[in-house]
A and B are shown apart, each in its own frame.
Chain A
Amino acid sequence: MLLRKFSAPKTFYPLAGKLMPWFFWTFAVLGAVGLYWGLVLAPVDAVQGQAYRIMYVHVPSAWMSMMIYTSMTAAAIAALIWRTKVAELWLLCSPALGASFTFITLVTGSLWGKPMWGAYWVWDARLTSELVLLFIYFAILAMKSAIPDRRKAARVMAMITVVGFVNIPIIKFSVDWWTTLHQGDSIFRKGGPSIAPSMLIPLFMTALSFTSYYFWLVLKRIRTMIEKTENERKTA
């Protein structure tokens, strides 16, 4: 019942307005502290030298690219089954942010690949599946632009999102299923993380900062879209 109450745009609009400043400040404070810690205070890596510091932007972006897609899949299921309006709005407002994080992941990964592997790009399973994710985001965004009716667009976007979700476990487990140049899991793995706490804590900070950034902007976009719908209703 509570979920149904908050899934109505009228209730969601003020709630989003109240939550936005919290997400903004979490993003700003944790981002500033995490970056200072990661770029200045964290020690130089014994093997990778300074280049490993790309991790503080690459890893959180990669997590976000998959996390945003997973949240979109949950919204897509709610939109397809119950036609929940807020789920449709979530679906309409998320893919641009997801595509941005996927793009950042690919560019920063490529800049990390050059000093470590000697190449900006290799057709490795992890890199290729992440590139496929970017194309899936583009397909979803193309549907949003192509269909003028927002509710119809959301339904088509939901269908593509659900089908495309198959790529998420492929990205996650690509380093286990195939022999890849990309390194395996070093954080969420059996036996605990293989990264020293002095390097790991700022990574969690930037990851939480990026997550807050996403929630801050997706809520802002949803509020703008609710305002837009209200204007349309008034002028109709």
Chain B
Amino acid sequence: MSAALRSPLDSYLTQVSNRLGMATKALSVVAMVFAQLALGLTILAGLKWRKLL
């Protein structure tokens, strides 16, 4: 079925899905940045002895 023939509900759900995908992507980037930062701080400033990590 072509996009033009989809029901309004299908069209709406597609748009919601796209927005959700974009939000998830943005949040993933933020989470990755903070995870690296936390790991770096733990290694450099949290413990003197890395074996304990």
A and B assemble together: no
